[in-house]
Amino acid sequence: MKKTTKKEKLNAIEKALEILVTFTDCNHELSTGEISKLTGIHKATTSRILSSMVEYGLFAHNNESRKYSLGPLAYRIGLSQVSRSIQQFVDLSVPYVNRLRDSSNESISLEVWSGTGTVACYFAESRDALRVSMAPAEILPLHAPAGAKAIISYMHDAQVSKMLDYDFQPFTEHTITSKEALLERLREYNRQGYAVDNQELHSGIYAIGVPIFDHLSKPVAAVSMIMPASRMSKETEIDAASRLKRTACAISKGLKALPASSLRFDMKLLG
């Protein structure tokens, strides 16, 4: 008689939760086989559960890599746990972000650190006819966008090296796919005080990001200016970085002035 394992005795909901928990310490996509191995749940069962969870938005399926990552619903559920903190942060930041958008006439993104990348919590779209747009609550990866790189450039080397221990997805021909090359670039970003995304996430789009710090001087968010690459020049980059630094500094000061207990950036989703 075949011996029934403990995992096989779990009901469907418990198995689904086991699969969700697998992603709490994962900063990259996983295949059905990898998830099955990590959870101990049969591969066929894992595949069926993943298919159902994709339909509900708890997971997203990458048709090219045939792997899975957390979906938008999972992030919305996580964000709802700290919605007050996020809303307070957004309320504080919006006037500064809008002012920067108006003065630069470029799109400005406000992003919070998720532990494995950033989540766009507010986006002020440029009024220029040629402009960049972003979906609300868009989940951004770790190794390409300016905001995420700006944040991790101010973290400890050992922590960053561990976070970057995965295969970098090449979003465009400009995406940095070498961990060593990205670490070197991060050191440069730390020295200059801002990070760039030179068509690394989307072809034709250039972004500059500056970190925002909490009351413990930890980088917990970023403000980024996003524009068509055709409008970028060295002079434009220097001017944009200066404007972003002033905006990030103002938001950081406002964040530090709030009671420490009123803001919580301590959940796994928010780093």
DSSP per position, 70-117: E-HHHHHHHHHHTHHHHHHHHHHHHHHHHHHHHHH-SEEEEEEE-SSS
Are residues 117 and 65 located together in one domain of the fold?
A: no
pLDDT of 127-183, one tens digit each? 888 777 766 566 778 899 999 999 999 999 888 998 898 889 999 999 999 999 999
Looking at residue 128, the DSSP 8-state letter turns out to be: S
The pLDDT value recorded for residue 75 is: 64
Span 202-213, average pLDDT: 96
Does 83 have pLDDT greater than 80?
Answer: no
Domain count, the chain: 2
Report if residue 1 sits inside a domain. Answer: no
The pLDDT value recorded for residue 3 is: 42
For residue 156, what is the domain's CATH number? Answer: 3.30.450.40
Does 86 have pLDDT greater than 60?
Answer: yes
Report if residue 2 sits inside a domain. Answer: no
The residue segments making up the domain with residue 108 are 77-270
Are residues 106 and 41 located together in one domain of the fold?
A: no
> What global pTM score does this model have?
0.68
State which of 70, 96, 124 marks the end of a domain: 70
Are residues 60 and 110 located together in one domain of the fold?
A: no
The pLDDT value recorded for residue 1 is: 40
Residues of the chain with pLDDT > 90, as a percent, come to 51
More confident residue, 62 or 188: 188
Are residues 26 and 107 located together in one domain of the fold?
A: no
Question: Distance between CA atoms of 77 and 17, rounded to whole angstroms?
Answer: 14
Are residues 230 and 147 located together in one domain of the fold?
A: yes
Q: Which of 212, 263, 258, 254 is nearest to 108 (CA)?
A: 212
Are residues 35 and 127 located together in one domain of the fold?
A: no
Q: If you average pLDDT over every residue of the chain, what do you get?
A: 85
State which of 48, 70, 92 marks the end of a domain: 70
Are residues 148 and 187 located together in one domain of the fold?
A: yes
DSSP per position, 10-58: S-HHHHHHHHHHHGGG--S-B-HHHHHHHHT--HHHHHHHHHHHHHHTS
Report if residue 206 sits inside a domain. Answer: yes
For residue 50, what is the domain's CATH number? Answer: 1.10.10.10
